[in-house]
Each structure stands twice: as structure tokens, then as C-alpha cells.
Amino acid sequence: MFVDRLIRHAGPAALALALAGLAPQAGAQSTPGRSARAGDLAARGAMRPLRHLVHVEGVRENQLVGYGLVVGLNGTGDSTQVKFAGQSVTNMLTQFGIKLPEKTSTKLKNVATVMISAMFPPGYRKGQTIDVTVSSLGDAKSLRGGMLLMAPLRGVDNETYALAQGQLVVGGLNASGNSGSSVTVNTPTSGRIPNGATVEREIPTDFESGDTVMLSLRQPSFRTARNIVQAINARYGDIATTRDGTSIEVRAPQVPTQRVGFVADLQDLQVAMGQELPRVVFNSRTGTVVIAEGVTVKAAAVSHGALRVVIREQPQVSQPAPFSQGSTVVTPQSDVLVQEGSGHMFEWPAGAKLQTIIDTINRTGASPDDIMSILQALDQAGALQGELIVI
């Protein structure tokens, strides 16, 4: 059994964690033979509204994408190296009746080619507006101050469902000097247009067809699916069935008004969730680590070395003697320096809580990458009492 103390090492280990895990919490079990009443369901897990656990099939968002031009940039648009930028400008001018002479090169630094994406919410009608995201396609330095010209947004079937246009809102910043030095804050080559697209075509759904409604679990679980069926049948009678841990079929009224009201009441139904493993989520791009409540580990020890490797390349040039008819030889010379800091080990008693883990890791000054390496090692060793997800 580990003791709560600090052990210092003179060796090369940079960080070693020994974490003691908690035993899984025992959930209350229903008495055999009892009916699935609300009290029994509540004992099996946390009660949550049904809308948090499932989504209604046929009622979902659809992705739209388009191509367009952003104009009005202050010299931060695409360069002449982006050939399709000039072609796009030429095609646009042709549509307005302006014909350029053949082999005319359009050198415009205030125009950028962009890709446009949007999510089409379910049930939206003609005339309603949706938000769009605009991202640079060429080598534009910044989209700040630009305006997107009218561009069609298409679905996977290549049909146009919305038209996008408007002033961009860009959170990033890019500034450069004549010497070539530059400063970039966030991402200036991507922006958003709130309510920037108008719906021109509706996407049909099958929500109103048939005499049943299909519910799909957001996180598949046989226990949660069973609890949902029992909760619905306890409230409305035997109208819900399930074949697996991902979907549930519910008989519903065929009259549209009654069906909408029925689904609205159904989504407010309180259902017990199945026991789930707490999660640890790591974003490999930003270094963000999110540790859910209840994440512990079994008795384990992890050593994470802090190596610093510096490689210097210094080419050596050997010139031949005069009139020797020799050739100049360039010989690469590499100096490799490896430094390793001193390490220390922390140990906790059995039953370490999440707050203890966080406090200790923060006290060592470990980076998110160090934390991720430790968590991956614990997960591979089977010591992590939780689900590790890398996004």
C-alpha cells in the first residue's frame, strides 16, 4: 500500500506518479420480481430528461458547403500564385457583362477565395437564416474587414439549399512589416457570418410519416436503452420496444399536431442512465485536458522522463588548393546535446480523489503533453479507471 509522502530521486526520471484507485461504486439493485417503477429506475443511475439521452431519427442537422469570394481586404488577399483566384474573379466579372481581354492577368490583393460551410437545422423553412463559417482556400494572410459575395451552399446531393453573403467577423489578427517580420494572433484566415445564409430550399424529413417514432441513443448502452423502454411503457403503456442498445421504436399518433405534442412530452420524461465510465478527454492540437469527476487509477507507478535534445548543424566547407583541379566539398558536422533534468516521485494513499491528482500535477508544473503521456501510460497498463479519449 502506498504512503502519502514525497520521494526525491537523483536519477534521470523527470516525473513519476503513483496513484491509488477507488473501487467502483456499487449501484443499488432492484429487488427481483418488482415492477419497473420510477423509484426502481432512479436507483440504477442518475435521472436525466430523455432529450439528453436520445435524438429523434429524421430530425437532424445537415451539412452545407460552398465556394465563394471575399472582397474588400486591405492587401491581405490571395497572391498571384493562386491561379484559380484570378479565374474566379474573371468568371464573376463575365457574369456581370464585363469581358476582359484574353490572357489578361488579374492581380488583385484585396480578393480571397474561400470555402463556406454551414449546418442546416431540422425543420427550417424558406426565408430563415443560418450562421456560416468562412475559411481561406488560397494563401490569403487575413480575412479581416472582408465581405463575402453571394455564394450558393449545396448539400451532398449537389442541390442548392441556401445563399450566403455578408460581412465577416474575424477574431484573428495578422500584422507584418517590410522586413518580413510578422505577428499572428489566433486564426485570421477564418471567420463567421452570423445569420449569413438565407434558406432557399427546404430539406424534407420523414418525421411525419408512419405510425412510429425512432429514438437513437447519443451514447449506445444496453442498460440505458432498457431503462428508456421501461420508463416509456410505465408512463404510456406497452408502446416502446428495442432490438439493441442504439435505437428504440415508439408507437406515436399519426396526426401531426398530436405527434409533435407526444414527442415533446416524451422528451421531458425522466430516465435513469446506465452506469458509465468517467472520461478523460485530451485535445492533441490545443493541449487541452478535461478530466471528469470520478476518474481514479489503480495502484500504479509511471515514470516520465524530461529529455531535452538539441541538434546543431554546422556545415564545414573544404576548398581545394589553387590549380589542383579539385572540387569544393561540404561536410555536414552535427552536434547533439541531450539534457535530462532531475526527477521526483509523488505517491498517494489508496483511494486518491480527482482533486488530489490535479493538485499534485499542477504543483509539478507539468505541461499538458506530460499529463497526456502519463494518462496514456496508465491506460495502457490497465490502471486508469475511466475512458481515455483523444480528439
Over its length of 391 residues, how does the chain's per-residue pLDDT go in tens digits? 333 333 333 333 333 333 333 333 333 343 343 344 444 444 445 788 888 888 888 888 899 999 999 999 988 888 888 888 888 888 888 888 888 887 777 778 899 999 999 999 988 999 999 999 999 998 888 899 999 999 999 999 999 999 999 999 988 666 655 555 556 666 788 999 999 999 999 988 877 778 889 999 988 888 889 999 999 999 999 999 998 888 999 999 988 888 889 999 998 999 887 667 777 888 777 777 777 777 777 666 656 565 444 445 566 667 776 766 666 766 655 454 544 555 555 555 555 665 666 666 667 677 777 777 777 777 787 777 777 888 7
Residue 33: inside a domain: no
- Same domain flag for 260 and 160: no
Give the three cell numbers for residue 185.
494572433
Residue 1: inside a domain: no
For residue 128, which phi and psi values (nearest 5 degrees)?
Answer: -75, 155
| Domain count of the fold of the chain | 3
Residue 32: inside a domain: no
- Same domain flag for 226 and 193: no
Per-residue pLDDT, 102 = 77
Q: Which of 188, 62, 174, 175 is nearest to 114 (CA)?
A: 188
Residue 29: inside a domain: no
Per-residue pLDDT, 239 = 93
Per-residue pLDDT, 234 = 92
- Same domain flag for 189 and 214: no
HSE-CB of 292 using CA atoms within 13 angstroms: 13
Give the three cell numbers for residue 321.
588548393
**CB-CB neighbours of 186 under 10 Å:** 11
Q: Which of 313, 369, 366, 319 is nearest to 343 (CA)?
A: 366
b/e code 364-383 from CB counts within 10 Å (16+ = b): eebeeebbbbbbbbbeeeeb
Which of these three, 236, 252, 272, is where a domain ends? Answer: 272
- Same domain flag for 308 and 379: yes
- Same domain flag for 170 and 219: no
Q: Categorise residue 372: left if φ over 0, alpha if ψ from -120 to 50, beta otherwise.
A: alpha
CATH number of the domain residue 52 falls in? 3.30.1360
**Pairwise CA distance, residues 53 & 270, whole Å:** 10
Per-residue pLDDT, 290 = 79
For residue 122, which phi and psi values (nearest 5 degrees)?
Answer: -70, 140
- Same domain flag for 297 and 385: yes
Q: Which CA distances in Å does 288 have to 366, 367, 370?
A: 13, 10, 12
Amino acid at 118: A
H/E stretch holding 190 reads: strand 190-199
Q: Which of 62, 56, 57 is nearest to 202 (CA)?
A: 62
- Same domain flag for 119 and 15: no
User: Which residue range is the domain that position 267 belongs to?
Assistant: 38-59+207-272
**Pairwise CA distance, residues 230 & 238, whole Å:** 9
Residue 31: inside a domain: no
- Same domain flag for 66 and 193: yes
- Same domain flag for 72 and 171: yes
**CB-CB neighbours of 127 under 10 Å:** 8
Per-residue pLDDT, 106 = 73
What are the tens digits of pLDDT across the range 74-120?
Answer: 888 888 888 888 888 888 888 888 888 877 777 788 999 999 999 99
- Same domain flag for 186 and 223: no
- Same domain flag for 347 and 229: no
Per-residue pLDDT, 279 = 79
Which of these three, 175, 199, 223, is where a domain ends? Answer: 199
What are the tens digits of pLDDT across the range 335-372?
Answer: 545 445 555 555 555 556 656 666 666 676 777 777 77
Residue 98: inside a domain: yes
Query: What distance, in Å, lies between the first and last C-alpha atoms of the chain?
Result: 35
Answer positive or negative: Cα dihedral of 91, 93, 97, 101: negative
- Same domain flag for 85 and 107: yes
Per-residue pLDDT, 382 = 73
- On whether the CB atoms of residues 69 and 147 are closer than 8 A, the answer is no
Residue 16: inside a domain: yes
Per-residue pLDDT, 17 = 37
Which of these three, 250, 272, 294, is where a domain ends? Answer: 272
